[in-house]
Amino acid sequence: MLVPITRQKFEQLIPIIATGPQYAYFWGNYQDFLKRLLISVIAVVGVLLLKLFLGSGFDGLVLILGIIAALYWLWGPVYWATKRNLEIRQYQYSGFWRGRVVDVYVTEDLIGTEETVNNRGELVIVENRERRLNVEVEDETGFATQLQVPLRRTHKGIAVGQVAEMLVMSYQPDLERIVKTSDMYIPILNRWVSDYPYLQRETFTQVSRKLSKVEADDYPEDDYPEDRVVKTKRRRR
């Protein structure tokens, strides 16, 4: 099932400014924090050097730049999350999509390599691998998509046959070609499958419950620009 949604509803689901979960995603771990802190220190040094070059006539500007630089470790996650949100908001058309899980499996994927030296002084390449959950979803029209995310304990219980819901995006008004999908929601488990949390999850679950209670021809026009479910065959670019 695919239900087109208005631009207004789409922007409610994916806001510009970083949400709490998005901020937490880019906050990262202790090493990520140390990297941002190091950037802040380097930036502050750069601002001090700029002050020496400009002289005392630009103390106000230098102070503002210094504060911004010193707090990069704090506002950096907001910037990166907002940048990612803007990238996905470039898609002009979107819809609420519902299908069923047709396959669930775990893979171990290479995410990077590191060069190190062993006890004998030999150069050794170490592969960094991560266990990932792969969920394939298909609807009644035959349209299928796959989501791959790092494996988490919260993924326990996801099984073939369960209903799965997403937001899908396209450059075409009829959503005939899907170019992007959001994080996945499994209603029966009230559980999310995602790497980056694109959606305002409370708003999305409200839409999910609303569409579950009404017939296809009864969608309110203020939220859904067409009073029908799109049933044409769709393709994923």
pLDDT in tens, 175-204: 989 999 999 999 999 999 998 999 999 999
- Give yes or no: residues 127 and 107 share one domain: yes
Instruction: Give the pLDDT score at 101.
Output: 96
Question: Number of folded domains in the chain?
Answer: 2
pLDDT(125) > 80: no
Q: Which of 99, 88, 145, 142 is nearest to 2 (CA)?
A: 99
Amino acid at 62: V
Whole-number percent of the chain with pLDDT over 90: 64
Question: Are 97 and 171 in a shared domain?
Answer: yes
Domain endpoint, select from 37, 65, 88:
88
Residue 57 confidence class, pLDDT cut points 50, 70, 90: confident
Looking at the structure, do residues 80 and 176 belong to the same domain, yes or no? no
- pLDDT bucket at 54, cuts 50 / 70 / 90: confident
Residues 59 and 156 in one domain: no
Which pLDDT band, with edges at 50, 70 and 90, does 234 fall under?
A: low
d(CA 86, CA 10): 12
Is 0.75 surpassed by the pTM of this model?
Answer: yes
Q: Is the pLDDT of residue 215 over 50?
A: no
pLDDT for 64: 92
Same domain for 192 and 84, yes or no, is no
**29 and 137 share one domain:** no
- Residues 110, 71 share a domain: no
Buried b (16+ CB within 10 A) or exposed e, 145-184: bebebebeeebeebeeebbbbbbbbbeeeebeebebbbbb
pLDDT at 50 over 90: no
In this structure, are 99 and 156 located in the same domain? yes
- pLDDT tens by residue, 151-167: 999 899 999 999 999 99
Task: State the average pLDDT over residues 60-89.
Answer: 93
In sign, the C-alpha dihedral spanning 210, 215, 218, 224 is: positive
Do 81 and 109 fall within a single domain? no
Give the structural domain span for 30.
22-88
Please check whether residues 51 and 97 belong to one and the same domain: no
| Residue-averaged pLDDT of the chain | 86
Helix/strand/coil for 49: helix
Same-domain status, 8 and 26 = no
Maximum distance among all Cα pairs of the chain, rounded to whole angstroms: 72
Same domain, 9 and 40: no
Paired with 235 in beta bridges are 177
Select from 70, 88, 106 the last residue of a domain. Answer: 88
Average pLDDT for 140-149: 91
